Amino acid sequence: MNSGPALGAGPHLPVMVAEVLTQLVTTPTGLYVDGTLGGGGHASALLSRLTMDGRVLGVDLDPGALDAARRTLAGAGERISLRQGSFTQVPAFLEELGVTTCQGVLLDLGISTLTLESSGRGFSFQREEPLDMRFDPDHGRPLSQVLPRLSQSQLAGIIYRYGEERRSRALARAIHGAAEAGRLVTSGDLAAAVRSVVKGQPVKTLARVFQALRIYINGELDNLQAALESLPQILEAGRRVAVISYHSLEDRLVKHFFIRESKACLCPPQIPSCQCNHQATLKVVSRKPITPSAEEQAFNPRSRSAKLRVAERL
Ligand SMILES: C[S@@+](CC[C@H](N)C(=O)[O-])C[C@H]1O[C@@H](n2cnc3c(N)ncnc32)[C@H](O)[C@@H]1O
């Protein structure tokens, strides 16, 4: 397994810990799933809220994050079970633990400060690193190998859709040109291609392009949708899911899923009687997303874009 450089340089502060615990923990015993374990900050807080009978299954795609979490959670003994893999695999991981359901699921989406700053895989436009951007470096191909295979219009679509960036065509032209010429090997090369298009302050555009390509290479929205679809199967009735997202694409997806799953019928209004036989599986707990306090936003700037949505299994 290639875990790359140890993730331990910058601290990752877990976001809205108090809010997550209040919303998620409906019983102090039982099994909670942290599907995005990262450095283990939320998992550690969860364990300290639960009794000694309470357990956490921690899942992360990134082997380096698991190494960091193993250190954070060293004292938890058998109360923590760790799995490297995707949160889409949670049903199978639960089966390995001899259960089919759990008492709560947490998803804290996106990337951690640790991965951004010390994975060595080119997630940050402020660093000169190999352009990889895979959460799991043992599967698939690095971004530097994938980019030359994309057409200019595919690239523009990715930047527009996942980065919500209006200069997607010009950016795609520059990035595609650099990739075709074999000049797109590092995160610095990608940043240079973006800078060649944006005059003035390029930081927001850099952030959007890096975000778009990271979402694409990791299939983040498809994985999120698949994980949400598995919730009715793995959550015990009366138990909750809490999802923290950091950009509008994810937040919209979560919001629409929760609303859809809280409806007893999905037929269009003009159909007189229900044909779809859909059954509500969730109750929306937080109609509006919960956001970090002003104090947390000041203390942890990364938390500023965070939105927490909560739903309960019916
Ligand atoms: C914001 S961080 C989580 C931080 C964590 N809550 C903490 O307290 O340290 C998001 C994590 O999700 C992981 N991740 C992203 N997509 C994933 C997926 N499909 N399955 C499992 N983990 C994933 C990333 O590798 C990253 O470590």
Q: List the residue whose alpha carbon is closest to atom 3 of ligand 1.
A: 38
The model's pLDDT over 74-87, given as tens digits with 9 standing for 90+, comes to: 999 999 999 999 99
Q: How far apart are CA 97 and CA 166, in angstroms?
A: 47
- Decide which of 299 and 7 is more confident: 299
pLDDT at 303 over 60: yes
**Ligand 1 test: best mutation among 47, 90, 112, 253, most atoms within 8 Å of CB?**
112
Within its chain, how far is the Cα of 214 from the centroid? Answer: 11
| Torsion sign across C-alpha atoms 307, 140, 63, 86 | positive
Q: In this model, does residue 11 exceed pLDDT 90?
A: no
pLDDT reported for residue 8: 38
Is pLDDT of 281 > 70?
Answer: yes
Closest residue to atom 22 of ligand 1, CA basis: 60
Question: If we measure between CA atoms, which residue out of 61, 57, 58 comes closest to residue 85?
Answer: 61
> pLDDT band at 251, cuts 50/70/90?
very high
Closest atom of ligand 1 to CA, residue 36: 12
Residue range 263-279: mean pLDDT, rounded:
91
Looking at residue 234, its pLDDT comes to 98
Residue 1 pLDDT > 90, yes or no?
no
pLDDT band at 220 (very low <50, low <70, confident <90, very high): very high
Asked if pLDDT for residue 261 goes beyond 90, the answer is yes
Mean pLDDT of the chain: 94
Q: Is the CB of 216 under 6 A from ligand 1?
A: no
pTM listed for this prediction: 0.95
**Mean of the pLDDT values across residues 38-61?**
97
Does 12 sit in the ligand 1 pocket, CB within 6 Å? yes
**Which range has the worst mean pLDDT, 33-47, 214-228, 264-278, 293-307?**
264-278
Q: What is the pLDDT of residues 130-141, one digit of tens each?
A: 999 999 999 999
Please list, residue by residue across 257-272, b when 16 or more beta carbons sit within 10 angstroms of its beta carbon and e when fewer do.
bbeebeeeeeeeeeee
pLDDT given for residue 286 in this prediction: 84
SS (H, E, C) the chain: CCCCCCCCCCCCCCCCHHHHHHHHCCCCCEEEEECCCCCCHHHHHHHHHCCCCEEEEEEECCHHHHHHHHHHCHHHHHHEEEEECCHHHHHHHHHHCCCCCEEEEEEECCCCHHHHHHCCCCCCCCCCCECCCCCCCCCCCCHHHHHHHCCHHHHHHHHHHHHCCCCHHHHHHHHHHHHHCCCCCEHHHHHHHHHCCCCCCCHHHHHHHHHHHHHHHHCHHHHHHHHHHCHHHHEEEEEEEEEEECCHHHHHHHHHHHHHHCCCCCCCCCCCCCCCCCCCCEEECCCCCECCCHHHHHHCHHHHHCEEEEEEEC
How far is the centre of ligand 1, averaged over its atoms, from the C-alpha of 110 (Å)?
6
Q: What's the 153 CA to ligand 1 centre distance in angstroms? A: 30
Question: pLDDT of 106-130, one tens digit each?
Answer: 999 999 998 998 899 999 999 999 9
Average pLDDT of the residues in 261-280: 92
Give ∠ CA 20-22-27 in degrees, rounded to 5: 110
User: Can you tell me the distance from the alpha carbon of 253 to that of 260, in angstroms, rounded to the nearest whole number?
Assistant: 11
Q: Which atom of ligand 1 is nearest to the CA of 136?
A: 25
Give the C-alpha distances (Å, rounded to integers) separating 64 from 48, 87, 140, 232. 24, 16, 17, 30
Give percent of the chain above pLDDT 90: 91
Task: Give pLDDT, residue 200.
Answer: 87
Under 8 Å between Cβ of 144 and 132: yes
The confidence band for 3, taking pLDDT boundaries of 50, 70 and 90, is very low
Task: Place 269 in a pLDDT band, splitting at 50, 70 and 90.
Answer: confident
On whether the CB atoms of residues 57 and 130 are closer than 8 A, the answer is no
How are beta strands 307-313 and 282-284 bridged, if at all? Answer: antiparallel
**pLDDT-based confidence at 308, cuts 50/70/90?**
very high
Does 10 score more than 70 pLDDT?
no
Q: For ligand 1, is residue 309 a contact (CB within 6 Å)?
A: no
pLDDT tens digits along 195-217: 999 988 999 999 999 999 999 99
Any atom of ligand 1 within 6 Å of the Cβ of 103: no
CA of 250 to the centre of ligand 1 (A): 14
The number of beta carbons lying within 10 Å of the beta carbon of residue 140 is 15
CA-to-CA distance for 33 and 269, rounded, in angstroms? 37
pLDDT at site 6: 37
